């Protein structure tokens, strides 16, 4: 295992408080608020509650464990995938490339997918008659795609300008979304306008129900697990020993509250059928019902803004993932560079170019979601298993945040659950409309990319040979010029 260090990360500025980390992670439960409609339509309100509340509680438990790992690796940028890579590297170092790129894909592809949601909402609300398309290399590109591309570029420009701007943007938009959520959740309760005709439509018979819920959990975890993003910024907290734990726990707890209320109050107010027919745009109908006509457009604008801040945090996270991977010799060392604002601009630029290509050239976005989530969940499993391994092999290792012994069996159960969810979700893509073999091949391609990146960096750029290429018996050398993180 690469030995943990205690000094500040080279290049990053330690200006972030736990509240800043909370606001960065807050966008995950807030954006999740706009996605529960899909599960309500497919599973009924009670089925959606089981999936979202279940995965959100699991995310909360996992965040406690991530806090201990963050304390062990306080200078590691890149979050849980880098923690897992450093722990398991002494046994099979190429695994770090697989986990790192899988984690990156899970966050980076958020840009393409969510920006298209914004594009679809904007067209449906304000440009319903604009159906013209252009053909780009055989793909039909309409107005939603052009809007999505503009959103991706805007998010990139905001992020490279500095983390403070990202946080300030998150605070303003999240406050607006909190008001919208309050109207949609508290308004119907106060008015007594609830109809308890909710259903559970996740199948019949225990085996079928379990498979269905786990498959949808595979999808929901793409959002509900995302509060772990607070750990990615560990080197940037003013007091990492306390700030990271507070940010992780508070954001995950909020996620539990938000999904618990939204998956029941929304369908009890509008009806499951209305939400199934318009799984994102139903907010306009809900707000109109509570406040009256004239507010529907404002609701859609706030929903789009919520997606925008989710993209901002995703860009910050995925850029830092590439930066941390480059620092550990898992990705080309040129990505280990910060600009004058202290942002990993080259990693963010990779995200920008990659997602623009996805928007214009790849038709099967669902397959991309499937691919990104497989790699992401693998990093979750190995990070949790790494916690167990360190407790076994390094019990005396300094842990600024040390959980009680009861967390060891809890971690075992979490690993088992996630492995089961991966197996079921990966082998039953048709249950949620992903398709079949093509999407599974796309998912497996992330492993190939991760291995190629690892061997290029370690073998060609760092010149490692023999055992050091396969095992991190000693920390992989990173040239001083790379460690400086000088501006791009």
Global pTM value: 0.85
Tell me if 9 is assigned to some domain: no
Tell me if 484 is assigned to some domain: no
Tell me if 325 is assigned to some domain: yes
Q: Is 141 helix (H, G, I), strand (E, B) or coil?
A: strand
Tell me if 447 is assigned to some domain: yes
Tell me if 48 is assigned to some domain: yes
Q: What is the pLDDT of residue 421?
A: 95
Tell me if 1 is assigned to some domain: no
Closest CA to 138 of 368, 439, 356, 361: 361
pLDDT digits (tens, 9 = 90+) for 437-455: 666 676 777 788 889 999 9
Q: Is the pLDDT at 141 greater than 70, yes or no?
A: yes
Q: What is the pLDDT of residue 138?
A: 59
Domain count, the chain: 1
124: domain range? 18-469
Tell me if 315 is assigned to some domain: yes
Q: Is 82 exposed, middle or buried (0-12, 13-18, 19+ CB in 10 A)?
A: buried
CA distances from 294 to 181, 189, 285, 316 (A): 17, 21, 11, 35
Please tell me the distance from the alpha carbon of residue 167 to that of residue 15, in angstroms, as a whole number.
Answer: 12
Contacts of 228 (CB under 8 A, 6+ apart): 59, 62, 63, 66, 79, 80, 248, 380
Length of the chain: 488
pLDDT digits (tens, 9 = 90+) for 312-364: 888 888 888 899 889 888 999 999 888 888 889 999 999 899 888 878 776 55
Q: Confidence class of residue 409 from pLDDT cuts 50, 70 and 90?
A: very high
Q: Is 179 helix (H, G, I), strand (E, B) or coil?
A: helix
Please tell me the distance from the alpha carbon of residue 56 to that of residue 61, in angstroms, as a whole number.
Answer: 9
Q: Confidence class of residue 225 from pLDDT cuts 50, 70 and 90?
A: very high
Q: Is 142 exposed, middle or buried (0-12, 13-18, 19+ CB in 10 A)?
A: middle
**CATH number for 292:** 1.20.1740.10
Please tell me the distance from the alpha carbon of residue 270 to that of residue 114, in angstroms, as a whole number.
Answer: 24
Q: What is the pLDDT of residue 159?
A: 85
Q: Is 129 helix (H, G, I), strand (E, B) or coil?
A: coil
Q: According to DSSP H, which parts of 271-281 are helical?
A: 272-277
Tell me if 12 is assigned to some domain: no
Query: How would DSSP label each residue in 248-267?
Result: HHHHHHHHHHHHHHHHHHHH
């Amino acid at each position: 295992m690469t030995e943990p260090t205690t000094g500040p990360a080279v290049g990053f500025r330690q200006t972030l408080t736990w509240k800043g980390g909370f606001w960065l992670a807050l966008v995950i439960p807030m954006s999740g608020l706009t996605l529960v409609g899909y599960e309500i339509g497919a599973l009924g309100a009670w089925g959606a509650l089981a999936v979202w509340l279940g995965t959100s509680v699991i995310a909360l438990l996992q965040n406690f464990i991530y806090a201990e790992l963050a304390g062990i690796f306080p200078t590691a940028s890149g979050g849980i995938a880098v923690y897992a890579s450093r722990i398991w590297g002494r046994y099979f170092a190429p695994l770090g490339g697989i986990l790192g790129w899988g984690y990156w894909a899970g966050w980076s592809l958020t840009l393409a997918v969510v920006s298209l949601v914004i594009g679809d909402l904007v067209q449906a609300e304000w440009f319903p008659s604009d159906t013209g398309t252009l053909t780009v290399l055989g793909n039909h590109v309409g107005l939603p795609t052009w809007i999505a591309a503009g959103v991706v570029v805007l998010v990139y420009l905001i992020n490279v300008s500095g983390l403070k701007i990202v946080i300030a943007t998150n605070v303003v938009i999240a406050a607006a979304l909190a008001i919208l959520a309050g109207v949609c959740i508290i308004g119907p309760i106060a008015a007594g306008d609830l109809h308890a005709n909710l259903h559970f439509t996740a199948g019949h018979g225990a085996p079928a129900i379990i498979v269905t819920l786990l498959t949808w959990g595979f999808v929901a975890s793409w959002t509900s697990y995302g509060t772990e993003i607070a750990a990615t910024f560990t080197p940037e907290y003013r007091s990492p020993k306390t700030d990271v734990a507070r940010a992780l726990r508070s954001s995950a707890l909020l996620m539990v509250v938000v999904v618990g209320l939204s998956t029941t109050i929304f369908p009890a107010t509008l009806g499951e059928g209305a939400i199934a027919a318009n799984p994102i745009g139903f907010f306009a109908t809900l707000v109109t019902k509570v406040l009256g006509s004239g507010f529907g457009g404002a609701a859609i604008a706030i929903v789009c803004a919520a997606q925008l801040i989710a993209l901002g945090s995703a860009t910050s996270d995925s850029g830092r993932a590439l930066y941390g991977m480059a620092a550990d010799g898992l990705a080309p060392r040129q990505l280990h560079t910060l600009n004058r604002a202290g942002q990993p601009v080259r990693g963010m630029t990779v995200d920008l170019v990659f997602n623009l290509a996805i928007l214009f050239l790849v038709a099967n976005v669902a397959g991309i979601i499937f691919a990104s989530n497989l790699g992401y969940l693998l990093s979750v499993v190995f990070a949790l298993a790494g916690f167990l391994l360190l407790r076994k092999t390094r019990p005396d290792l300094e842990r600024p945040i040390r959980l009680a012994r009861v967390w060891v069996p809890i971690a075992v159960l979490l690993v088992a659950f996630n492995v089961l969810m991966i197996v079921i979700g990966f082998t039953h893509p048709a249950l949620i409309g992903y398709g079949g073999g093509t999407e599974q091949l796309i998912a497996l391609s992330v492993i190939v990319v991760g291995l190629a990146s690892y061997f290029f960096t370690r073998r060609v750029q760092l010149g490692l040979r023999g055992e050091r290429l396969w095992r991190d018996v000693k920390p992989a050398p990173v040239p001083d010029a790379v460690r400086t993180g000088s501006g791009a």
